[in-house]
Amino acid sequence: MSIFYEIEFAKYILPYRKTLLKEHIAKLIENKDDTFGNARTIRNIFEKAVALQANRLMGLETLPQDLSTLTEVDMKRCFQDH
């Protein structure tokens, strides 16, 4: 979890409740298998969220803060695959 927060504080704003992320990670850990890698999984979640954010913003007029904000929608869509 601390990896995600380090990334977040470095470049991105998460305006939604962080419990959403914590709950999702807790579920992943609860249902983990032999291939589960905590740091790798968190990094994959972050990278997928950034890609979803880019797709959401494509073709829109954006403000600088839009480029550094991962919305709750970005994260929930990201969680669908994990």
**Torsion sign across C-alpha atoms 38, 16, 70, 5:** negative
pLDDT at 55: 94
Q: What average pLDDT does the segment 37-60 reach? A: 86
The whole-model pTM stands at 0.73
Domains and CATH numbers, the chain: 2-79 (1.10.8.60)
% of the chain surpassing 90 pLDDT: 15
| SS3 category, 69 | strand
Q: How confident is the model at residue 61 (pLDDT cuts 50, 70, 90)?
A: very high
User: What are 49's two structure tokens?
Assistant: 């969220």
Task: Considering only residues 39 and 16, tell me which one the structure prediction assigns the higher pLDDT.
Answer: 39
Residue type, 66: D
Q: Who wins on pLDDT, 38 or 72?
A: 72
Q: Which residues, in sequence order, are CB contacts of 52 under 8 Å at separation 6+?
A: 74, 77, 78
